[in-house]
Amino acid sequence: MIPELFGDFLAYQIGLYLIYGIAAQGIGFLWGKTGVLPLGQALFFGIAAYLTAITLRAGNGLVLDLFLAAAVLIAISVFAFALAALIFRGRNESGPYFSLITLALVMIGEQIAGTATDLTGGFNGMSGYPSLGNIDLFDGYYYVIVAATVVVSLLLFVLNRLPANLVARAVADNEPRLQLLGFPTHVVKGAAFALSAAIAALAGGLFASHQGIVTPTSMGFGLSAELVILTAVGGRIHVLGPLIGAVIVGWASAELRDSFPYWELCMAVAFILVVLKAPGGIAELLETAYRHIWPERVGRQPGYIAAPPTKSAGLTGPLRFEDVHLKIGVVRILNRVSFETPAKGIVSVIGPNGAGKTSTLNTVTGNLRVTSGKIVLGEHAIDSRPPYMALHSGIGRKLQVPSVFFSMSVSENLAIAMMANRARLVDLFRPSTCQWRSRSLSGMLAHSSVPLHEGIVQPVEHLPQGHRQFLEFAMTIAAEPQVLLLDEPCAGLSSDETALMTNLVREYQADTGGLVIVIEHDMSIVEAISDKVIVMHLGQVLAFDTFEKVRSNPDVQAVYAGGTK
Amino acid sequence: MTALLEIDMLTGGYRDTNVLFNVSARVDAGSVLGVFGRNGVGKTTLARLVQGSLIANKGDIRLEGRPVGALPAHVRRERGIGYMPQTSMVFDDLTVRENLNLGRNREAPDRYFERFPRLAERLDQPAGTMSGGERKILAFARAMIEDTRLIVLDEPSEGVQPENIEHMAECLKDRAEAGAAIVLCEQNLTFLTRISSWYLGLDAGSVVLDKPAAEVSVVELRSILSL
């Protein structure tokens, strides 16, 4: 109603702010969910703007123009996906390098746009083409922009309620854990970057038609930085945050520019204040105020539905190390490690601190690459597989320091774990996927003494360490791996909790008939649960036998006495 | 006589959510307060309230009679409160030597190399390449050599082999005999009973036992851990 109430010119201005807001929404989605900060979104904005100008100049007619616009969005998405997936492949963090690469790309893009005169019109840019469908820029086109804003916002709101949103948030929260749950995080980040690029491109296309001119600044670092600022000020977490930021900053700039000489300083101070005092931006402040008046009602927890079977039962059989060496820099971690476990049962790994126990498990899950030698599960070599393939090979891993998704609730942590090795792509877009529950997980949670309360909505970052041990164990067995690797699952537990944890381990092994490998220092636990014991010392296997034989081994007694809590 | 550390009716937790309620305790110079209880009863919260990374909502903390409860953590460290957290306790990118040489120390780390020879072997190795247990030992050695009068340790034995836990106990005894006060938050009863001179048992954020070690049996300790 802006054109009717406030006139065409304000509608024209608001239209421009919304276009920037749409592009910023893409940044908000990527940055707010996955933690990846793109500094070159104007590249996609500008490419789409130039291609739109070229298309509109050709006068193909509305249908062909829309068809070409869709093709451009798809092409940009594919390019962005491939770029991010390639850069992030083989890494388990997002670091600043990706942001810097996007920054470099947008600077290259701006340079090309300014110099390729035949293609882009050089510094003068491209102009003199009609608007999309010849719609009046000061009237009807405003509604086209509003419609695009609504569509993008709805899309992001819907995504927020889907399991895919949990997976995207999990990337920012704890990427190594997500990989051990079988998610190829470089693909997740690639997909999120593709969506943000497509949104930026949509905004770029709208911009070209709206402004009637496209210049290299539409593909420049300046615009990229401005979009990030709009996102930060408005709020990167809430879907509407970037839109709010774009409209407020755009409107304030326009108003202050002519009346206040230090308006840029004013905006800079406002930006610093918002970033320091309200990291969630204006949207968070508004939401807090809104919730103060209308508190959020905690809905009833939806019921659970039987989870589908795991995608593959994974590999089974003995785990065999063949002359494995591992060096990190000049430090030799593992030295000529060879052993073969039974195909099923519980094997404990003991040894002094620094013996190489955790590193041994790290080589099994691909968190460390062996320098030489071979690791074979059943008949398959697994030593060159990345961590996200471990679970597909049937290997579940609980880490030494409990590794969970700290910003999420217990039920969200468990929901992600239930998707592990089960969810197909389509399941990530079905709300009911979050209600999956497997028999093994239900069995564990049925123990009244397991300290996991799913009704609590607070993030698990404040859970005590011992409770996180149980949560991570639950997350690991939710995927029902045939080979379960547990790194000091009883560390930080009281004696009663230790007894509970050892019972859970035994029950899981008995239920699945698989192989469980446990690193443990407490000899009473080792004695109680182990079919076989591996003793490690200085990166080598010192002994591999039953508990009684290991205990009476003089070589073992010389280096490791063990003890109990 | 003024205790080295006095905690008076302390209530606090995370933001508005209190985890500890009206907890009082005192630790004299040369003694070890063993703080114990099941997971989630508030041991880490108590340690962090004393160290200063959390500020109490109610109550007082006094170091040698001077209130420190409102001071930020770095000022409390200057006043003599040392801290070994449960996790994230060393700088992974720095070498073992650099980790040990950080900050203001009362002594060189060398005397701890006899008990923990792996530290001496790995002096020039980045701490991040060491195992979890070794990093814990490094953090413990750091806490020992610092120029502090009160040392707060949060589950130092977690992930550490039993022989090294024994060495930790000896080191703590030495520090206490040299006049330091120790607050040891632990679940490992063998470790706890080896060195504690006073016990503070917690359940659901409140004190359920506050007695000299000589008056408490292991059965009583176990019963509190099983609450």
State the Cα–Cα distance between residues B87 and B155, nearest whole angstrom: 9
For B13, name the nearest residue in chain A, comparing CA atoms only.
A462
Residue closest to A490 by CA, chosen among A502, A475, A507? A502
pLDDT in tens, A513-524: 999 999 998 899
Q: Is B129 close to A560, i.e. CB distance below 8 A?
A: no
* CB neighbour list of residue A542: distance below 8 Å, 6 or more residues apart: A351, A535, A536, A553, A555, A556, A559
CA atoms A168, A173, A179, A181: torsion sign: negative
Candidate from A331, A356, A561 with C-beta closest to B125:
A331
Q: Tell me the pLDDT of chain B (227 aa) as tens digits.
A: 678 999 999 999 987 789 999 999 999 999 999 999 988 899 999 999 999 999 999 999 999 999 999 999 999 999 999 999 998 789 999 999 999 998 889 999 999 999 999 999 999 999 998 999 999 999 999 999 999 999 999 999 998 998 999 999 999 999 999 999 999 999 889 999 999 999 999 999 999 999 999 999 989 998 888 76
* CB neighbour list of residue B49: distance below 8 Å, 6 or more residues apart: B10, B12, B20, B55, B56, B61, B69
CA distances for B204 relative to A85, A86, B54, B57, angstroms: 47, 49, 18, 17
- Between A and B, how many CB-CB pairs are < 8 A? 108
Res A313 pLDDT > 80: no
Res A547 pLDDT > 90: yes
Q: What is the mean pLDDT of residues A439-464?
A: 85
- Pick among B158, B167, B186, B222 to test the A interface (most A CBs inside 10 A): B158
When pLDDT is cut at 50, 70 and 90, the band that residue A300 belongs to is low
CA atoms A157, A158, A161, A166: torsion sign: negative
Q: Provide the pairing of β-strand A372-377 with A380-381.
A: antiparallel
Q: Is B160 close to A521, i.e. CB distance below 8 A?
A: yes
Q: Does A462 touch chain B (CB under 8 A)?
A: yes
Res A560 pLDDT > 80: no
pLDDT in tens, A108-136: 999 999 999 988 989 899 998 988 877 87
Are A343 and A509 within 8 A, CB to CB? no
Q: Provide the pairing of β-strand A532-537 with A345-350.
A: parallel
Candidate from A353, A401, A458 with C-beta closest to B134:
A353
Q: Is A491 close to B159, i.e. CB distance below 8 A?
A: yes
What pLDDT is stored for residue A564 in this prediction? 58
Q: Is A354 close to B162, i.e. CB distance below 8 A?
A: no
Are B151 and B180 within 8 A, CB to CB? yes
pLDDT in tens, A363-413: 999 999 999 999 999 989 999 899 999 999 999 999 998 999 999 999 999
State the Cα–Cα distance between residues A70 and A102, nearest whole angstrom: 23
pLDDT in tens, A455-510: 777 899 888 888 999 999 999 999 999 999 999 999 888 888 899 999 999 999 99
For B18, name the nearest residue in chain A, comparing CA atoms only.
A462
Candidate from A329, A492, A561 with C-beta closest to B163:
A561
Q: What is the mean pLDDT of residues A296-310?
A: 80
Q: Provide the pairing of β-strand A213-214 with A126-127.
A: antiparallel
State the Cα–Cα distance between residues A172 and A32, nearest whole angstrom: 9
- Pick among A465, A518, A527, A551 to test the B interface (most B CBs inside 10 A): A465
State the Cα–Cα distance between residues B62 and B70, nearest whole angstrom: 10
State the Cα–Cα distance between residues B41 and A100, nearest whole angstrom: 45
What pLDDT is stored for residue A88 in this prediction? 94
State the Cα–Cα distance between residues A138 and A13, nearest whole angstrom: 9
Query: Buried b vs exposed e over A226-254: b needs ≥16 C-beta within 10 Å?
Result: bbbbbbbbbbbbbbbbbbbbbbbbbeeee
Are B207 and B25 within 8 A, CB to CB? yes
- What tokens does A178 get? 């997500």
ipTM: 0.82
Query: For residue A153, what is the enclosing H or E element?
Result: helix A140-160
Which residues of chain B make contact with A492, given a CB cutoff of 8 A? 39, 86, 155, 158, 187
How close, in Å, is residue B64 to chain A by CA atoms?
30
Q: Provide the pairing of β-strand A213-214 with B181-185.
A: unpaired
Q: Is B190 close to A465, i.e. CB distance below 8 A?
A: no
Res A562 pLDDT > 70: no
CA distances for A171 relative to A295, A473, A497, angstroms: 29, 20, 30
How close, in Å, is residue B1 to chain A by CA atoms?
35
